[in-house]
Structure 1
Amino acid sequence: MESAPGIQIERDLSQIYGDLLSQAITGELVGMLNYASLATLAPDIGGQTAAVRHAAAELRHAENFRQVAKECGLETIVNPGALRWGQVRAAFLRYATEGNLIACLLIQEVMLESMAVALYSELGKLPDKRIAKVFAVTAKEEAHHVDAGLDHLSIAASRDPEGFADLVEAVHDEVMFAIAEMLAGEEGEDAHCGLCAGNCVKQSLPEVGLERSKLRGRALRHYLESLDSLGIPGERSLAWVSRLPL
């Protein structure tokens, strides 16, 4: 399959790359929608402006992924309402409706962004250098979102460490389960993610030098490090992660 000058993607790998980009584009658009919702929850103009700025950055990331897919002649599926992403977005909207800013920040800036940084860093090593570069650059930019979110959440955590940890656990059990399913074993026929063009892309990852278990391990390690920086006791966070699907 022909792509941009100097780029050649083998036909039997094109669907794998297309599926990976479909997940990335959809995830960035969910992030855009979440940040747009955060703008309505922020208590002051500074927070509102930051949320809008982050939403614009997520849209730019999605467009960058779209552009590289187009240049490489790859088919993508974009659907923020797809099974797992739809579950994450629905949970976020429920907390937003309740006016729970801290829960929303946990979902977007700890759970989703931490996982994105870890996964994009690994995808930045893909054999196709053009696609790898977009993932690597996006990983670095997403890391700034995580840092900003952790700074804000650290204040809330310091005010009521036990209550904060209880809230994190409640959000974790709902949202991280859906996120972890994206990296768990192959989806059953009744649980197709809705973004893979054919069979679940996870079974084909070794063809582009990736391992599902390694991706899952790095993502969860980054997530645990984020929780640790917020003062969540390790014995609690490790127990939460142990409940996630393999």
Structure 2
Amino acid sequence: MMDETMALDALPGGDQSVFGALPQGLRDCLGHAVRVVLVANNPAITAADFQALNIGADDVVVSFNTCIKATLLSEQSVNVFVHGYNAPDAYFFGLPYGPDVQRLFAQASERCFSMLVGCAAPMCPLPGVAMYWDRIPLPPLWNYPVDRPGGKRYVGPTTGFNALVLLDWLRGHAGYTYQLMTLGFSNEAGKLWGGHAWDYERDWLQKSDVIVVPLQPRRWWQKLFRQK
């Protein structure tokens, strides 16, 4: 069973307000949302996988860092772009935005939001941007594993896990009623960097009531092509 206790003075960020960091516009959109769908940076996701979700105006779609599936996104839904902080080099993954994300902001700026997680250096808050310091004081994030096999240390939660735990917590503590779903969190492709505790994150997801949407079956020749 996951440890629910938190020593809030053990890490930076323990005094931040989880709900208070959200801009009012995003709070309102989450309050009206029927579904919140987190889309992984998984190369195996196809247009057919995304279209099968039938994303509409009452849905919130959450993308991460470089947002490699930005071409599939629509201005009809609410779009949230979450970016993790690279502390050693002092930049956020995926910023500045590429042309596909810029297009969405230009077409529907009132339905597009940015979220910065893992902040570890002094910076000014920006209007309409959710900003979270490292570490967000929620038990699955606060009690994230430290030591990995071989003696090295984990750098902390992935950008996606930060957002997933946060959005799950909001359902139980802020009165939101949306259905929480993930697409591409199913290991069909991509690389898993060793600096994150992937087994820990997968175990949390499996034990939660978050809906993991499987990707559609591939034809035999598609599987062969991906192996090359």
Smaller-chain TM-score bracket: 0.3 to 0.5
- Of Structure 1 and Structure 2, the greater strand share is in 2
TM-score, scaled relative to structure 2: 0.33
TM-score, scaled relative to structure 1: 0.31
- Of Structure 1 and Structure 2, the greater helix share is in 1
